Structure 1
Amino acid sequence: MAPKTEATPTEWEIAERLSQQFAHVFETQDAGNKVFSDDVLFDLNMPVWRFQIQGPSAFETQLKQIVEGEVRIDVLRTVATDSGFVTEHEEHQDVNGQDLTARRLW
């Protein structure tokens, strides 16, 4: 009989777990859960603006500045890549009884 081996998580399972932890950062505005490395760099751009945020605490500070109400994140899909994952999520904020929604690809 072959020896039993520990099951290791698949790349997809790891990516899914990390994307859920990433989503949780938006819901709590707390980047202290070690989802990000200390030297993480976010290069964020839209058609009319662009800025960079470096480090978990800077990302957390930015989230706290822009949140207007209770946040709920729905992870729509996550795809494992050779160096990590790509995730799409939908953010809902309850602001004065209205659901403000943003859809993001990370």
Structure 2
Amino acid sequence: MESAFYGYYFISTDCLSNKWKTYEIERFLLAYGGFEQEGNGSFKHKSVFCTIHLMNVKSYTSWNSNDYNNVETNYINILTSKKPPKEIKNFFGKLEIFLGWHIREEIDDIIY
């Protein structure tokens, strides 16, 4: 999804049946600092523009905010500025290490 102002990113497991424990990701986000929970699986950074949504999707190409599952997560959607600030780039690196997968940019609604 291209935008002049926003950067759309995601991190997902290699297949839908592989999952992370939702509560572990939620604890990581809250312990990392800067993020506050806004709702089921939704987090917002307190000082820079960055929102995160944890989901357990049935398809990588079709999902919505109702795909939250308090037990398992296989897809994380991240919305931030087009050029993420250093603080968010550092966070991306730590999240990748924690989950063992790489964050990728969504381009033209096609997930690679």
Larger strand fraction of residues: 1
User: For the superposition of Structure 1 and Structure 2, which TM-score range results when normalised by the shorter chain?
Assistant: under 0.3
Larger radius of gyration: 1
TM-score, normalized by length of structure 1? 0.25
